[in-house]
Amino acid sequence: MLRKPFLAISLVVISFQAIAEMKPPVAPVAAKEFSEHGSKRVDNYYWLRQRDNPEVITYLEAENAYADEMLKHTAALQEKLYQEMKGRIKETDLSVPVRRDEFYYYTRTFEGKQYSVSCRKKGGLDAAEEVILDQNELAAGKSYFRLGGSEVSPNHQLLAYSTDTNGSEVYTLVVKDLATGKLLADEIPNTYYGTEWGNDNKTLFYTTLDAAKRPYKLWRHVLGTATAQDVCVHEEKDETFSVGVGKTRSRKFLLLTLHSTMTTEVRFLDADQPGGAFAVIQPRTKDLEYSVDHRDGSFYIVTNDSARNFRVMTAPIEHPGKENWKELISHRPSVKVEDVDLFARWLVVHERDQGLKKLYVRNLESGKDHYVDFNEAVYTYFAGGNEEFNTNMLRFTFSSMTTPPSVYDYNMETHSRELLKQEEVLGGFDASRYTSERIFAKAPDGTNVPMSLVYRKGMQRDGKNPTLLYGYGSYGAPMDPGFSSGRVSLLDRGFIYALAHIRGGGDIGRPWYEDGKLLKKKNTFTDFIACGEHLVAEKYTNPGRLAIMGGSAGGLLMGAVTNMRPDLFKAVVAQVPFVDVINTMLDASIPLTTLEYDEWGNPNDKAYYDYMLSYSPYDNVAKKPYPNLLIRAGLNDPRVAYWEPAKWCAKLRAMKTDDNLLLLKTNMGAGHGGASGRFDRLREVALDYAFILDRVGITE
Report residue 466: phi and psi, to 5°.
-65, 140
Enumerate residues 6+ apart whose C-beta is below 8 A from 24: 18, 63, 66, 653, 662
Q: pLDDT grade, residue 418 (50/70/90)?
A: very high
The question of whether 672 is a catalytic residue gets the answer yes
Conformational region of residue 473, where left means phi above 0, alpha means psi within -120 to 50, and beta covers everything else:
left
Residue 14 has a pLDDT of 43
Is 637 tagged catalytic? yes
Q: How far apart are CA 108 and CA 136, in angstroms?
A: 11
Annotated catalytic residue, options 116, 153, 552, 676 = 552
3-state per-residue secondary structure call for 622-639: CCCCCCEEEEEEECCCCC
With a CB cutoff of 8 Å and minimum separation 6, the contacts of 669 are 143, 144, 166, 167, 635, 636
pLDDT of residue 5 exceeding 80: no
Q: What is the pTM assigned to this prediction?
A: 0.94
pLDDT at 15: 42
CA–CA dist 474, 559 (Å, integer): 14
| % helix, strand, coil for the chain, step of 5 | 20, 35, 40
**How confident is the model over 302-342, as pLDDT tens digits?**
999 999 999 999 999 999 999 999 999 999 999 999 999 99
Residue in 480, 637, 688, 694 annotated catalytic: 637
The predicted pLDDT at position 466 comes to 98
Look at residue 355 in the predicted model and tell me its pLDDT: 84
**Segment 531-554 mean pLDDT:** 98
pLDDT of residue 21: 57
* Per-residue model confidence (pLDDT) at position 377: 79
Output the average pLDDT for the chain: 95
Provide the pLDDT for residue 674.
87
The three state secondary structure string of 513-580 is HHCCCHHHCHHHHHHHHHHHHHHHHCCCCCHHHEEEEEECHHHHHHHHHHHHCHHHCCEEEEECCCCC
552 is catalytic: yes
CA–CA separation, 696 and 543 (whole Å) = 10
pLDDT at 22: 67
pLDDT at 18 over 80: no
Q: At 285, is the pLDDT very low, low, confident or very high (cuts 50, 70, 90)?
A: very high
Compute the distance between CA of residue 393 and CA of residue 72 in angstroms, rounded to an integer: 53
Characterize the bridge pairing of strands 628-634 and 571-575: parallel
pLDDT tens column, 616-671: 999 999 999 999 999 999 999 999 999 999 999 999 999 999 999 999 999 999 88
pLDDT in tens, 593-629: 989 999 999 999 999 999 999 999 999 999 999 999 9
Between 105 and 16, where is the model more confident? 105
In sign, the C-alpha dihedral spanning 70, 75, 77, 79 is positive
Contacts of 683 (CB under 8 A, 6+ apart): 78, 82, 675
45-49, 547-551, 588-592, range with the lowest pLDDT? 588-592
pLDDT at residue number 10: 33
> Looking at the predicted structure, is the pLDDT value of residue 672 above 80?
yes
Question: Which of 409, 672, 676, 688 is labelled catalytic?
Answer: 672
Q: Strand 39-43 relative to strand 467-470: parallel, antiparallel, unpaired?
A: unpaired
